[in-house]
Structure 1
Amino acid sequence: MTGTEKIKAKILEDAEARAGQIIKEAEAEAREIKENALKEAERKKAEILKKGETDGKEIYRRMLSEADLEGRKEVLRTKQDLVEEAFRKAMDRLCGISDRDYQNLLVNMIVEAAKGEDGEILLSEADKKRIDKDFVKNINRKIKDCGKEGKLVLAEDSIRTAGGFVLRYKDMEINNTFEVLFEMLKPRLENDVVKILFS
């Protein structure tokens, strides 16, 4: 399983784990908004009926329609927030795996992304503390086993990221930080996450 597939699996797994709780919260919030709007509409209706039955009914109908629209907008906003939260939680879970599993994930992702020429691996300061002394050696061995040329070294400078890496070559950089990967995966996975959370 490639690094990208593992990330995708983690996102979908996390979304499924949170689905029940998240949909209950969203539905409860939507019900509360609708109930409050209906109570307010009932109160206004009583006032309006005193002024005129015909005008009162029309205004009441419009208020219920507006309340329903506002309720639906709030449910949509809540669903969007929950989808974002599912992606954030998936990234947190991915960053929270054991150092050994995390290092293996990075090794496989770097080998997959390597161009076949000499370059540098940029990691965050936190990730540099999670890798062992054989990290770069294992990467270069796997790169060679794949039939690619070139060697990678660990850069002295660091990047600011939750996780992942950047490969720096003479004239280009390959950004495989989790933030960038999640943004790239999000459009492809968002519909699946929505189905899991709200079906």
Structure 2
Amino acid sequence: MAKIDGLINKIIEDAETESESILKKAEAESNAIIKKKIDEAKEVGSSIIKKANIEAKLKRERIISNTTLKVRNEKLAAKQKAMSEVFNEAFDELCSMSEKDFLNYLKATIISLKIDGDEEIILNTKYREFVDSTFISEINNELISMNKPGNLRISSRIGDFKGGFILEKNGIEINNTFEALINSYRDELEFEVADILFN
């Protein structure tokens, strides 16, 4: 989290530095416009001086407004990038869980789901190495104790995902891949994560 805080602070500092530079440049341009218009106006009268001041002021306000908008957009982009990094980090942590933690997660999740008890478990290559027939028997015994058939089995299909699993029966899938879980929770958690990161 300290790495992310440092990244956020760096991005915000860079945006503020750029904002100051743009504002100084805008002010210099504005002052140059005002001086030029005043010199011209001296030759033709006070009405042109008034017009020049008004034009310069409007242009300066537009430049400042555009600069402020640009800085705001850059800060927003930096925050979005930081949020994505938080969710990517969470995803990476899930995908790197130990064999024991994955097996506990797999068992607890399957038992908690409202399933028939005779689905196929689709795993990726990594997790197929962790799950053996003894482990599947343990889950099936728990399902039987819940008055379910207890006929779960490992699918011959290898999942094309980084983490988690899919339960499949008759072409219907329950997607418990970590990719799907992170995506589904992202909308719910984005506000909380932003509150933690930026407040």
TM-score calculated relative to the size of structure 1: 0.82
Give, in whole Å, the separation in 1 of the partners of 2:177 and 2:166.
Answer: 7
Find the partner of 2:17 among 29, 32, 54. Answer: 32
Find the partner of 2:32 among 47, 64, 68. Answer: 47
3-state SS, counterpart of residue 181 of structure 2 = helix
CA 32–106 in structure 1, closer or farther in 2 if over 3 Å, else same? farther
Deviation at 1:159, TM superposition (A): 1.1
Which AA in structure 1 matches 2:36? K
Would the aligned equivalents of 1:111 and 1:142 in 2 still touch at CA under 8 Å? yes
TM-score calculated relative to the size of structure 2: 0.82
Would the aligned equivalents of 2:22 and 2:67 in 1 still touch at CA under 8 Å? yes
Deviation at 1:109, TM superposition (A): 1.5
Listed one character per residue, the Cα deviations across residues 90-147 of structure 1 (whole Å, up to 9, x for unaligned) are: 0101111222112211221122235123120001112213445533223223323444
1:62 counterpart residue number = 62
3-state SS, counterpart of residue 168 of structure 1 = strand
Give, in whole Å, the separation in 1 of the partners of 2:140 and 2:124.
Answer: 20
Give, in whole Å, the separation in 2 of the partners of 1:161 and 1:37.
Answer: 45
Which AA in structure 2 matches 1:142? E
3-state SS, counterpart of residue 156 of structure 2 = coil
Give, in whole Å, the separation in 2 of the partners of 1:18 and 1:134.
Answer: 42
Give, in whole Å, the separation in 1 of the partners of 2:167 and 2:144.
Answer: 17
Deviation at 1:56, TM superposition (A): 2.2
What is the percentage of aligned positions where both structures have the same residue?
33
Give, in whole Å, the separation in 2 of the partners of 1:47 and 1:163.
Answer: 60
The count of residues paired between Structure 1 and Structure 2 equals 184
- Map of 1:6-25 to 2, 5 A cutoff? 20-25=5-10
Deviation at 1:58, TM superposition (A): 2.1
Give, in whole Å, the separation in 2 of the partners of 1:162 and 1:17.
Answer: 26
| Aligned Cα root-mean-square deviation (Å) | 2.1
Would the aligned equivalents of 1:18 and 1:197 in 2 still touch at CA under 8 Å? no
Give, in whole Å, the separation in 2 of the partners of 1:154 and 1:51.
Answer: 80
Give, in whole Å, the separation in 2 of the partners of 1:30 and 1:145.
Answer: 60
Q: Aligned pair 1:126/2:126, yes or no?
A: yes
Deviation at 1:170, TM superposition (A): 1.9
Deviation at 1:158, TM superposition (A): 0.7
Deviation at 1:22, TM superposition (A): 4.2
Q: Aligned pair 1:86/2:71, yes or no?
A: no
